[in-house]
Amino acid sequence: MVSLRFILCCLLVGSSYATIVSHDGRAITIDGHRRVLLSGSIHYPRSTPEMWPDLIKKSKEGGLDAIETYVFWNAHEPTRRQYDFSGKLDLIRFLKTIKDEGLYGVLRIGPYACAEWNYGGFPVWLHNIPEMVFRTTNKAFMDEMQNFTTMIVDMVKKEKLFASQGGPIILAQIENEYGNVMGPYGEAGKTYIKWCANMAQALNVGVPWIMCQQNDAPQPMLNTCNGFYCDNFKPNNPNTPKMWTENWTGWFKQWGGKNPHRTTEDVAYSVAKFFQRGGTFNNYYMYHGGTNFDRTAGGPYITTSYDYDAPLDEYGNLNQPKYGHLKKLHDVLHSMEKTLTYGNISTIDFGKSASATIYTTGEGSSCFFGNGNENSDAKISFQGKSYVVPAWSVTILPDCKTEAYNTAKITTQTSMMVKKPNKAEDDPSTLKWSWRPENMDDFLLKGKGESTKTQLVDQKVVSNDQSDYLWYMTTVKFRKRDLVLGKNMTLRINSTAHVLHAFVNGKHIGNQHAENEKFHYVFEKDAKFKSGRNVISLLSITVGLQNYGSFFESVPTGITGPISIIGRNSDETIVKDLSAHKWSYKTGLNGFENQLFRTESPSKWSAESVPLNRSMTWYKATFKAPFGNDPVVVDLLGLGKGTAWVNGNNIGRYWPAFISSGDGCSVKCNYRGAYHAEKCLTGCGEPTQRWYHVPRSFLNAGDNTLVLFEEMGGNPSLVNFQTTRVGSVCANVYEKNVIELSCDRKPISAIKFASFGNPDGNCGSFEKGTCEEINNAVDILTQECVGKEKCSIDVSTEKFGAPDCGGAARRLAVEAIC
């Protein structure tokens, strides 16, 4: 997953004059002024055009200067020289939306993206060009890469969207995280990266080009850092600013996995530490993760949700407190912009991982006090004053005197999201279903396909990734007294199919899917063969193609073999290898070709005897759109695995039957200490993904149609539509702070809990402590907040009284119902 570059500035992006974007060793400069730049990744195809203005507005309100996005080659050129920039693929419209909001853009053309996107963003037809090798000195690859990159640059130039033309784009990216995988390519890899730099520079975009994770980035490319922490990163050139293109705000989720979370305190700590140590450009990957609609999820096994625990959640809601706590950090950093980018830097080491960094200009000084100790708070004496810096935190003092921000002290509310039933339906828990089976007779009984080979072929080669599904079929004839025939026979398949269904003579003998990231496995099941003609039909299913690694394009997909029939009798075991048999291939399923997911599909459906737990079955129901504007989700609990459509819009793959393991989760998460993807997990023993986003723009005012294709068998009677919204808000704030409570444009209805003193517990389970306010906190907050969409509370003894807490700092804990 790669992030983006971004730049920011206070200039009016909407103006038509050219903006000069350059850099020196301290910062990106815009029209000669050094900038502190805060950026966020939003990938336009992972949301909808109707969502873009709100997402970008919230990003600006959150203190960002720029929006970064990848450009996904396989989405825009699914077939060679046939392009698609419609709907949510309208890159130009997205960039203009950024411009309209007065933000800058960072355009990561790549065109390799990674991004947990299918095949890393490369089209599979590229792989199928003869003698093709990706990302090296392969002429066919370089020609295609240059063609696509040039086309994107020309499109953007035509609309005058580069800053050099008066547009918003201040940075462009070529390649992506190549340095992480470069070793196996040898000298050809070094030559290739030089070619990338020369090709990009020759396009004359008028703004700097970046290469992330590329320590040998050729000049004038700017090499940048990606990771959970980049404070130790040093550019490869003293004239390159210290830039962080991917600050991972969370992590992605895979089928069978748990829910990853990165704490707000740790994200803020990483940013503050980066700026303490000379950084001036930080991009959040992701700021809004969004949804992997249709078949765009990569992997293998990346989920449909790409929430990423980002500051804006999958549906566009504020993820509080992460959004608000980072906004306050951005405001403080922007207030220090001139000092951070022009000031002289000095440091003081206090020992035990505690330090001070002082930025000084002729106009004043700004300070960072950092404490990298995981266990102990640091007591710092500076210029005659004492300060306490909590463990694993950074305190920022814009005037080197008064603490304005500490990464571990959250003064922003926590929003607890809830799902609400669809009140537009009389009985929202019960939809009326009709169904029809997937017609597989030609494949199961006849073994009839579109092409034949006397070998087993990789799924990418045959299907060109036009579908998740590929049939492998062959016919085997046995004589009556064939030695392999008997009562004890099995079919053994060495498979790299992500999911495999096996049929013999029309009978389903079993299915298997890869688990624990082991995508090469052996399937073996009992099977009945007869003398004469036997049809073996194997359905290989992909769940996102490999998107990362050296030579990842050559990772096998489908059924690579060998495939054998095993006959066992009392004397011996006989193996009949079918790998070199004549195999027939068919891409896709009939229901997809006949577009059963279309609302106007003429195909016949039955409302009688709707089956449950039946594999390879289509289901259809109508529903009314939920009232209001809250984001809509569909609960698919009870289903197995398949694909869902709403009014013909593919909302992605579903797989609620894939349950995560029951261990590895923690009720409480300690923000202290370095974060990694296995830290702070939730959702143990639960479906990896239960709820699926249905954008409001997919819905009609009247009746709407939901279509499901169920591969493995499930119970559609449990499916229902809900809305997601803020259910309650909480805060736990030390005195001498102001806390704002907001129900996201809905009124606060009640104060469930409030206590000023030393309350205990967490949001949803607060308890009174051993000391408490003199004035009734519940009454005070009820009077000031109930009935309002938001309220601000001064946490002070003047308002709540001064309880005796033995010298300990007093806090206000509150939970309000929305």
Three-state secondary-structure class, residue 748: coil
Name the 3-class secondary structure at 377: coil
- Which is the catalytic residue, given 246, 735, 772, 773? 246
**Distance between CA atoms of residues 326 and 320, nearest Å:** 10
Determine how many CB atoms are found less than 10 A away from the CB of residue 83: 14
Q: Are 719 and 769 in contact (CB under 8 A)?
A: no
- Rounded to the nearest 10 degrees, the angle between the axes of helix 264-276 and helix 322-335 is 20
Q: In this structure, what DSSP letter does residue 221 have?
A: P
**With 0-12 CB in 10 A as exposed, 13-18 as middle and 19+ as buried, what is 685?**
exposed
Q: How many helices (H) and strands (E) does the chain have?
A: 14, 43
Q: What is the DSSP string of 340-356?
A: HHHSEEEEEEEETTEEE
62, 330 Cβ separation under 8 angstroms: yes
How crowded is the C-beta side of 227, counted as CA atoms within 13 Å?
Answer: 14
Choose among 397, 414, 415, 416: nearest CA to 405: 397
134 within 8 A of 185, measured Cβ to Cβ? no
- Active-site residue identified among 68, 116, 144, 177: 177
177 in active site: yes
**Element (H or E) spanning 151, and its range?**
helix 139-158
Q: Would you say 266 and 675 are in contact if contact means Cβ atoms under 8 Å apart?
A: yes
Q: Look up residue 109 and give its DSSP letter.
A: E
CA distance 710 to 642: 5
Name beta bridge partners: 212.
224
Give kind and range of the element (H or E) at residue 576.
Answer: strand 573-577
Tokens 């102990």 appear where? 376
Longest dimension (CA), the chain: 99
For residue 738, the 8-state DSSP code is: E
Measured distance CA(623)–CA(767) in Å, rounded: 42
CA angle 750, 753, 754 (to 5 degrees): 110
- Write the DSSP assignment of 475-544 as a string of letters: EEEE-TT-TT-SSSEEEEEEEB-SEEEEEETTEEEEEEE-BTTB--EEEEEE----SEEEEEEEEEE-SS
d(C-alpha 164, C-alpha 206), whole Å: 5
The H-or-E segment that residue 323 falls in is helix 322-335
Report the distance separating Cα 243 and Cα 106, nearest Å.
13
Tell me how far apart the alpha carbons of residues 650 and 51 are, in angstroms, rounded to a whole number: 17
Choose among 212, 209, 217, 208: nearest CA to 190: 217
**773 catalytic residue (yes or no):** no
Instruction: Quote the Cα angle for 180-45-221, to 5°.
Output: 35
Between β-strands 243-248 and 222-227, what pairing exists: parallel, antiparallel or unpaired? parallel
User: Beta-carbon neighbour count of residue 278 at 10 Å?
Assistant: 18
Question: For residues 564 and 581, what is the distance between their CA atoms, to the nearest angstrom?
Answer: 11
What amino acid positions are annotated as catalytic residues?
Answer: 177, 246
